[in-house]
């Protein structure tokens, strides 16, 4: 559908149906923070689960990791974040508001006042460990999950007994003190990353870089994002991070224009070399053919869970007219849909139908999210489930009491099929694979 106004519709749907709420809302909120409601947390979980399945469970060359959010500050010195993880900012001389230099022109976008000269602003959040708040107790909330992987490189190598090429995957919270936030959850101060560090021989880095660009592009497409809504853009030299030899972004056509969904960088051997230098621990490997030591190169696909969630919502959102009324549908891939199956009694004032419907819900052992709902007419219940992306609705009616069959309705086609209750779980399990 047309992108005009779709962000406003997504924001409204998310709040109305319990996907996403503004953080600390009853206290006036806190800019750049968001809370994920009952459906939002399910969608996030399903995105991470699909990513983990594709990278860790379905491959033999990648293992998982979960590292601490707070790390020794020397980690960030070695990585270059303390010295160089910053934005150029300008202040308005009139209204005193602060903006990133790269998104403003010659005057303040708020009041048209004059701007100051730009200055560096570090994006990491500072905090303190222990009871004394001084420079010796300063630590940082991690701005990325990658460094936890690098400092555990030898631990993973020893315990997993992997050989090059191999990868370490991690997802988790990251924090950046962004000055310019906006576009709903696209840019916020607290977010989740999905990062893979794939370690390769230096001479094979370019080949693996191209491989992972295509793999990550296909992952989004397999989960339902339309091919024409994704582009791959190579970074210009001036855009490259200090550690990167090359980088490509997978961009999605968000309502505000093509924007980064995931970056795939060739980090060279910068990280392992730096951590070896600063920590004094040798993270190099021995090349058995030449009997010389080397640092592996790293290919890093790094994506945001929150941005992926937003892209999946936008791409799945559709409106259509059915029998003279507007139908809103989230055509989410079944593996991502928060609710997989909704059990609906046709008549909520019939105790025998309600009892049978609740008993049917109990035949599902908890492998996926199944709900029971009788808080409206059947037409309204269908529309509610369509709007949150539920792939299948199961309707229990008067005839079900006699023939033990129920009606299964497909979200996308609205076609209905009568299935015997005994066959329902097997039928839906196959559909939801």
Q: What is the DSSP string of 384-399?
A: HHHHHT-SEEEEE-TT
CB-CB contact of 248 with 232 (8 Å):
yes
Nearest to 310 by CA among 329, 335, 330: 330
Cβ(193)–Cβ(145) below 8 Å: yes
Answer whether CATH 3.30.70.580 is correct for domain 6-72+124-313: no
DSSP secondary structure, 273-286, as one string: HHHHHHH-----EE
Q: For residue 233, list its beta bridge partners.
A: 249
Whether 202 and 267 have beta carbons less than 8 Å apart is answered as no
3-class state of residue 26 by DSSP = helix
pLDDT at residue 420 above 80?
Answer: yes
Which token pair is 150? 């690098």
Of the candidates 326, 300, 108, 103, the residue with the CA atom closest to the CA atom of residue 199: 300
Q: Work out the pLDDT band at 312, boundaries 50, 70, 90.
A: very high
Whether the CA torsion 340, 9, 103, 28 is positive or negative: it is: negative
Q: In whole angstroms, what separates CA 137 from the centre of its chain?
A: 32
Q: Do residues 390 and 411 lie in contact, with contact meaning Cβ atoms separated by under 8 Å? A: yes
Closest to 195 (Cα-Cα) out of 169, 165, 167, 166: 169
pLDDT in tens, 57-85: 999 999 999 999 999 999 999 998 887 66
pLDDT at 83: 76
Which CA distances in Å does 298 have to 201, 250, 270, 272, 401? 9, 18, 9, 9, 61
Residue 3 pLDDT exceeds 60: no
pLDDT of 313 higher than 70: yes
Q: How far is CA 363 from the centre of its chain?
A: 31
* Residue 110 confidence (pLDDT): 80
Q: Give the per-residue pLDDT at 101.
A: 73
Q: What is the pLDDT of residue 48?
A: 98
CATH number of 339-431: 3.40.50.800
- DSSP code string of 305-337: HHHHHHHHHHHHEEEEEETTEEEEEE---TTT-
Q: Which residue has the tokens 């992952």?
A: 219
Same fold? 6-72+124-313, 339-431: no
The per-residue pLDDT for range 381-392, each reduced to its tens digit, is: 999 999 999 999
274 has a pLDDT exceeding 70: yes
Stronger pLDDT, 386 or 107, i.e. the higher one = 386
Whether residue 170 contacts residue 152, with contact meaning beta carbons closer than 8 Å, is answered with: no
| Residue keyed to tokens 């839906």 | 428
Domain boundaries, the chain: 6-72+124-313, 86-122, 339-431
Mean pLDDT of the chain: 92
Question: Residue 85's pLDDT is what?
Answer: 60
Put simply, whether the predicted model's pTM sits higher than 0.85 gets the answer yes
- What per-residue confidence (pLDDT) applies to 181? 76
User: Which is more confident, 247 or 177?
Assistant: 247
| Predicted local confidence at residue 87, as pLDDT | 64
Q: What percent of the chain has pLDDT over 70?
A: 97
Residue 243 in this model has a pLDDT that exceeds 90? no
**Helices 305-316 & 38-52 angle (0-180, nearest 10):** 110
* pLDDT tens, position by position, 323-373: 888 999 999 999 999 999 999 999 989 999 999 999 999 999 888 999 999
């Amino acid at each position: 559908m047309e992108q005009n106004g779709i962000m406003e519709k997504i924001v409204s749907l998310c709040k109305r149906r319990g996907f996403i709420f503004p953080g600390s809302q009853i206290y006036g909120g806190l800019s750049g923070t968001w809370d994920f409601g009952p459906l939002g947390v399910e969608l996030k979980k399903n995105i991470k689960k699909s990513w983990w399945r594709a990278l860790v469970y379905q491959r033999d060359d990648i293992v998982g990791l979960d590292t601490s959010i707070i790390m020794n500050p020397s980690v960030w010195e070695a990585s270059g974040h303390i010295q160089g993880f910053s934005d150029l900012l300008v202040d308005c001389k009139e209204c005193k508001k602060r903006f990133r230099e790269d998104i403003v022109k010659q005057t303040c976008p708020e009041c048209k006042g004059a701007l100051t000269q730009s200055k560096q602003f570090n994006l990491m959040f500072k905090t303190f460990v222990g009871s004394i708040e001084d420079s010796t107790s300063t630590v940082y909330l991690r701005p990325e999950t990658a460094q936890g992987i690098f400092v555990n490189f030898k631990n993973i190598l020893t315990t997993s007994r992997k050989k090059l090429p191999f990868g370490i995957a991690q997802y988790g919270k990251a924090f950046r003190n962004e000055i310019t936030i906006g576009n709903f959850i696209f840019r916020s101060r607290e977010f989740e990353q999905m990062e893979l560090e794939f370690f390769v021989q230096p001479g094979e880095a370019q080949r693996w870089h191209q491989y992972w660009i295509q793999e990550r592009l296909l992952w989004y497409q397999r989960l339902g994002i339309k091919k024409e809504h994704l582009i791959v853009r190579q970074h210009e030299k001036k855009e490259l991070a200090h550690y990167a030899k090359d980088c490509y972004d997978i961009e999605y056509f968000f309502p505000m224009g093509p924007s980064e969904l995931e970056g795939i960088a060739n980090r060279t051997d910068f990280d392992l070399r730096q951590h070896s230098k600063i920590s004094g621990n040798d993270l190099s490997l021995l090349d058995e053919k030449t009997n010389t030591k080397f640092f592996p190169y790293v290919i890093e696909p790094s994506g945001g869970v929150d941005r992926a969630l937003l892209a999946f919502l936008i791409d799945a959102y559709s409106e259509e007219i059915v029998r003279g009324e507007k139908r809103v549908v989230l055509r989410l891939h079944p593996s991502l849909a928060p609710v997989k199956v909704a059990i609906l009694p046709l008549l909520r004032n019939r105790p025998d139908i309600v009892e049978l419907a609740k008993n049917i819900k109990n035949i599902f052992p908890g492998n996926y999210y199944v709900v029971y709902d009788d808080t409206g007419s059947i037409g309204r219940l269908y529309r509610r489930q369509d709007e949150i992306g539920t792939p299948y609705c199961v309707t229990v009616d008067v005839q079900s009491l006699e023939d033990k069959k129920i009606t299964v309705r497909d979200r996308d086609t609205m076609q209905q099929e009568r299935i015997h209750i005994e066959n329902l779980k097997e039928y839906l399990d196959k559909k939801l694979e």
